[in-house]
């Protein structure tokens, strides 16, 4: 597969006016590629979800530059063909799967139709590929014919992952994807994503406030506080030898990070 890379230079995001507004992201400079699994951890309001939305071209930066494979995100947004290709290359998986599925459609339709639009698959091809991806996630294809209310929260989250994977993205942006799920269900999803990253060379940007899950799936960590990265490095180094005071405070609230999370997909 082709390489994929984000390059951020002095990226900032402000909501509202300069006098009364709120700065969510301040001067971030970094790189993320399909060879990496990067965790972005921070408290609520730290700016991590805003960053994720900017990476997915769902928010625009107030200043600075975000480039994907050498092209400015703003230019990609302005071109329909480029934006379609970008949507294939970069997929967002969020926490609120209840509102992300239209209850008027089956889960299968919610997975098939975006794939047909982005990839040009025929209905028959999209139907068959939906079955393949759903089975990959340990689910029965028959379940895909139900509405979203007809499955459990953990199953619905896996269908959301299937919807992202069907277009074979180069980078997955995962925003609090397991935070609302039981620990046993979390383990199954995290193990799947970690294996998928390794086997498919698909980058993962894992955004969360939870350290154990983030540390398990990510080889690198970025610690975010008040819109800035206050610490960055390998996961093991950041967890065992934190340098920033905020990182030390954050780590103090957790026990030792598990080396493995084994769980059956519920």
CB 247 within 8 A of CB 254: no
Pairing of strands 22-33, 63-68: unpaired
Farthest CA pair distance, the chain: 55
Pairing of strands 63-68, 71-72: antiparallel
Q: Average pLDDT of the chain? A: 91
- Residues 6 or more apart whose CB falls under 8 angstroms from that of 106 comprise 144, 145, 146, 147
- Please state, in angstroms and rounded to a whole number, the distance separating the CA atoms of residues 73 and 57: 7
CB 173 within 8 A of CB 95: no
Is residue 255 over pLDDT 60?
no
Is residue 256 over pLDDT 70?
no
**Confidence bin at 258 (pLDDT 50/70/90):** very low
| CATH numbers and ranges of domains, the chain | 5-255 (3.40.50.300)
State percent of the chain over pLDDT 90.
Answer: 79
DSSP assigned state of 57: T
| φ, ψ (nearest 5 deg) of residue 102 | -80, 115
Is the overall model pTM greater than 0.85, yes or no? yes
Position of tokens 């290359």? 89
Is residue 261 over pLDDT 70?
no
CA 162 distance to own-chain centroid: 13
Is residue 63 over pLDDT 50?
yes
Per-residue pLDDT tens digits for 182-220: 887 888 889 999 999 999 999 999 999 989 899 999 999
Per-residue pLDDT tens digits for 99-144: 889 989 999 999 999 999 999 999 999 999 999 999 999 999 999 9
- Please state, in angstroms and rounded to a whole number, the distance separating the CA atoms of residues 51 and 71: 18
CA 152 distance to own-chain centroid: 21
Tokens of 229: 């990265």
pLDDT attached to residue 1: 62
Number of DSSP helices (H) and strands (E) in the chain, helices first: 11, 10
State percent of the chain over pLDDT 70.
Answer: 95
Using DSSP, state whether 46 is helix, strand or coil.
coil
- Closest listed residue to residue 38, CA positions, set 214, 195, 218, 216: 218
Is residue 45 over pLDDT 60?
yes
- Please state, in angstroms and rounded to a whole number, the distance separating the CA atoms of residues 60 and 50: 10
- Please state, in angstroms and rounded to a whole number, the distance separating the CA atoms of residues 127 and 116: 10
- Closest listed residue to residue 35, CA positions, set 178, 210, 220: 220
| φ, ψ (nearest 5 deg) of residue 9 | -135, 110
């Amino acid at each position: 597969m082709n390489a994929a890379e984000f390059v951020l230079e002095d990226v900032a995001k402000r909501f509202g006016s300069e006098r009364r507004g709120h700065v969510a992201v301040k001067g971030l400079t970094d790189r993320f590629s399909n060879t990496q699994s990067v965790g972005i951890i921070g408290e609520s309001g730290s700016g991590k979800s805003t960053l994720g939305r900017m990476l997915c071209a769902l928010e625009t930066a107030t200043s600075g530059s975000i480039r994907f494979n050498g092209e400015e995100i703003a230019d990609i947004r302005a071109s329909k063909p480029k934006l379609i290709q970008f949507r294939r290359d970069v997929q967002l998986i969020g926490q609120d799967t209840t509102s992300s599925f239209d209850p008027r459609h089956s889960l299968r339709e919610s997975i098939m139709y975006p794939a047909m639009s982005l990839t040009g698959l025929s209905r028959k091809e999209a139907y068959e590929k939906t079955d393949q991806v759903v089975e990959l996630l340990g689910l029965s294809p028959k379940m895909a014919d139900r509405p979203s209310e007809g499955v459990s929260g953990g199953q619905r989250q896996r269908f959301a992952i299937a919807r992202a994977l069907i277009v074979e993205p180069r980078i997955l942006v995962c925003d609090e994807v397991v935070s609302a799920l039981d620990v046993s269900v979390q383990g199954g999803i995290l193990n799947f994503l970690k294996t998928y990253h390794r086997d498919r060379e698909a980058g993962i940007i894992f955004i969360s406030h939870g350290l154990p899950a983030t540390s398990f799936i990510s080889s690198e960590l970025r610690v975010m506080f008040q819109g800035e990265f206050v610490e960055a490095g390998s996961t093991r180094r950041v967890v065992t030898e934190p340098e920033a005071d905020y990182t030390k405070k954050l780590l103090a609230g957790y026990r030792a990070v598990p080396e493995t999370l084994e769980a059956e997909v519920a």
